[in-house]
Structure 1
């Protein structure tokens, strides 16, 4: 009796929600399914996923070959750019010299997609460095997108993955970088 009441209550609640959404002029799930957007999303590790989003709810699943193995592309770091060349201190606006550098890099590099990752040294707070590194990576991604390059992902890692010690000026300079990962 309890299970039957619970199921009846669930159906009534579902019907009430759909009726309420319709009364507000919102889309019902059947209409949403008719205009759902499907695409393939590539992870930063190069593996593909089928993704579908109807605006209310989305889902994704691994894209598999007929043998059941994941479809993945070769991933490699194809560019590491010192941010001193691309940006002024505490800025996420690409300098003219940086634009020339990016033009040359993206003009000579071909990939299915790119992942852009920003890094900083440890001179400021963690929160500030995360925001600055993300803003710089986003600036590079926008510039690449303007050149018609497909951007897969943008990340800002701040000071969390140093290449060298932040105890020296040379080490801090090595840590201020934008890495570009090519998905081939």
Structure 2
């Protein structure tokens, strides 16, 4: 049986009334439809009064009030996107959810990528509400024929329900082919790894319903107790950085494994490089 669409919705929150009833005094019809079109049709799907959000093809019940809905980050993203398009920058996209903003798009080259991220970041920071919200801004721009943006898996996750599986997939895709770098024999995070940590932090924020273990591993060179200490210090350093960037502390668990869990038992330089790694693992609370 064909069902006539009764709603035209986006990621914005909408106030809905039950089928066959007139709209409540405070309810507003969906954009593009009159009130009669929303509630009167050949057939419609009955819904309880309340606030709803369309995400990943599903209507989700929300307790957000109409006043707070006007400040929904998804609406800010739409406003910023419109401004970029009006300025002739039509290849950049802005994705926002919770306290995370991702600048995405496909740049023709690395220089355009850098300029695009700077432009997108400035647009977010210049928005009257997004700029005051202290959002974590992530680079999700990919280069045509080149590397996928560090924040691309995060942008994909922002459009899904955050399940344990989708969160773990986002962590794995973000770390695929990438390593968090430290100073030699210490726990000082290299500045070149901060964009990667920001992307991982953004995933952690969207996945805060779960505990996230930061597992640091070393290669087999050096004394066992030394490797264990260094790995714990590095895991702690990552956790401390993410907390300083707004990730809830109770979401993170830092564990140093030293050389106890190698993924390559060889003794070559390549084997050592594979064993020196940091893993983000979803742990059910």
TM-score bin (small chain): 0.5 to 0.7
CA distance in 2, matches of 1:149, 1:96: 19
| Aligned pair partner of 2:242 in 137, 140, 144 | 144
Indicate if the aligned counterparts of 1:82 and 1:174 stay in contact, CA closer than 8 A.
no
Residue 74 in 1 paired to residue 153 in 2? no
8 Å contact kept, 1:122–1:166: no
Query: 1:92 aligned to 178, 187, 190, which one?
Result: 187
| Equivalence map 1:10-25=2 (5 Å) | none
**Residues 81, 140 of structure 1: CA spacing in aligned structure 2 closer, same or farther, 3 A cutoff?**
farther
Say yes or no: does 1:181 pair with 2:277. Answer: no
Alignment CA distance shift 1:154-1:83 (3 Å): farther
Q: Distance in 2 between matches of 1:81 and 1:106?
A: 16
- The separation in 2 between residues aligned to 1:81 and 1:136, in whole angstroms, is 19
Q: Deviations over 1:6-61 (max 9, x none)?
A: xxxxxxxxxxxxxxxxxxxxxxxxxxxxxxxxxxxxxxxxxxxxxxxxxxxxxxxx
Q: Which moved more, 1:148-157 or 1:83-92?
A: 83-92
Give the gaps of 5 or more residues in structure 2. 1-162
Q: Unaligned 5+ residue runs, structure 1?
A: 1-72
Q: How far off is 1:165 after superposition?
A: 2.0
Against the structure 1 CA distance between its residues 154 and 142, is the aligned structure 2 distance closer, same or farther, given a 3 Å change threshold? same
Question: Following the alignment from structure 1 to structure 2, what is the Cα–Cα distance between the partners of residues 100 and 108?
Answer: 13
RMSD: 2.6
Label 1:165 to 1:157 Cα distance change in 2 as closer, same or farther (>3 A): same
Whether the 8 Å contact between 2:239 and 2:252 is mirrored in structure 1 is no
Relative to structure 1, is the Cα distance of residues 133 and 104 closer, same or farther in structure 2, using a 3 angstrom cutoff? Answer: same
RCO higher in 1 or 2 (8 Å CA, sep ≥ 6)? 1
Q: What is the rounded CA distance, in whole Å, between the counterparts of 2:274 and 2:280 in structure 1?
A: 15
SS in structure 1 at match of 2:258: coil
Give the C-alpha shift of residue 107 in structure 1. Answer: 2.8
Deviation at 1:74, TM superposition (A): 3.5
Contact 1:81 1:177 in 2 (8 A): no
User: Using a 3 Å threshold, how does the CA distance of structure 1 residues 83 and 166 change in structure 2: closer, same or farther?
Assistant: farther
Q: Quick one: distance in 1 between partners of 2:253 and 2:185?
A: 23
2:259 to 159, 176, 183: 159
Which of residues 217, 239, 261 in structure 2 aligns to 1:119? 217
Quickly say closer, same or farther: Cα 1:131–1:181, change in 2 above 3 A.
same
Cα 1:127–1:91 shift into 2, 3 Å: same
Counterpart of 2:228 in structure 1 is 130
* C-alpha distance 126-138 of structure 1, shift in aligned 2 (>3 A): same
Aligned length: 112
Contact 1:86-1:99 at 8 Å conserved across structures: no
CA distance in structure 2 between the aligned counterparts of 1:90 and 1:166, rounded to whole angstroms: 21
Q: Distance in 1 between matches of 2:215 and 2:179?
A: 15
Counterpart of 2:271 (choices 166, 171, 181) is 171
Higher strand share: 1
